[in-house]
Amino acid sequence: MKDESFVEKVLYRLVKRHVSGTTMSSALEKAKELNKKGMPVSITFLSGGAGSRSKSKYITSTYQELARQISRLGIRAGIQVPLAQMGPESDRGAMGGNLSSIIATGNKYGVFVWAEASDVSDCDFEGFDGCRGFGYAVPSSQISGFAKAHRGAKALKVVFADSEDAGEADRIARQLGSLPKNCTTVLLSPPDAVARKVLGSGRPGRQILEYKFGEGGKGMKRALKRGAKVSVYLPFGKDWQAYAMNKVPEGYTRFLAGKLLGERSGHGGI
């Protein structure tokens, strides 16, 4: 890290408890530790978007290797793939092909694959609903839209933004309750109010609470104490700056991340 700026070094010290490391091996080691505590994980590769086919192919091969290593090491883990990593937004054919390759590898090695979409309209690949070992991850604001458009889906991950929907626990609980009974639901970073509703919903076998690595706190402890299924979202990779800015809750960490990204693009710095 000789060429890193001072602010990058400071930022990484702040954010490293939220990121398993910069390498695949670091993520696998942390996953094994979490497994020993009884928690499965969802591993994602921090690599930004794919601006070209060559980069999307590299990212695709990384996820395929990740699936192979998860299987080889006997780790209880799935993988979470942002659709933006699968190819340029204008090249839906390439995106679908790369995602299909990852799903095929996941099926071969018994590793579940989540495709993370920023909008339900991104989940328009034909033949993916009900696909073995596969599910979509969508924003919490789009549960109803997803349920209407993807009636055959067997798995859904609901992604919550920081503090989002904390006051709408009743609405979210109703929407989750309207999903097909055979649809397994994972709630990523649910607000405490939502988590409490879920814990009392009467669907313990179909709903899993997932917390970002380095987070959870009282909410996770409460869920574990009540016997809920709990998993951990585990990111790794060298492109952790954008994750720090968009995903990590601490305001000062976000501030530093924004400054760092501005410094790199020539629009500011400290």
Residue of higher predicted confidence among 258 and 118: 118
Q: Where are the domains of the chain?
A: 20-239
Q: With bands split at pLDDT 50, 70 and 90, how would you rate the model's confidence at 268?
A: very low
For residue 188, give the nearest of 236, 217, 145, 156 by alpha carbon: 156
Task: Say how many C-beta atoms besides its own lie within 10 A of residue 225's C-beta.
Answer: 9
Per cent of the chain over pLDDT 70 is 80
List pLDDT tens digits, range 67-80.
Answer: 999 999 999 999 99
For residue 98, give the nearest of 108, 88, 111 by alpha carbon: 88
Q: With bands split at pLDDT 50, 70 and 90, how would you rate the model's confidence at 60?
A: very high
The CATH number of domain 20-239 is 3.20.20.220: yes
Predicted pLDDT of residue 4 = 54
The alpha carbon dihedral of 218, 220, 222, 225 has a sign of negative
Residue of higher predicted confidence among 253 and 126: 126
Q: Which helix (H) or strand (E) holds 186?
A: strand 184-188
Name the average pLDDT for the chain.
Answer: 83
- Partners of 116 in the beta sheet? 82, 137
Task: Say how many C-beta atoms besides its own lie within 10 A of residue 214's C-beta.
Answer: 18
Q: With bands split at pLDDT 50, 70 and 90, how would you rate the model's confidence at 180?
A: confident
- Does residue 214 have a pLDDT over 90? no
Q: Which helix (H) or strand (E) holds 102?
A: helix 92-109
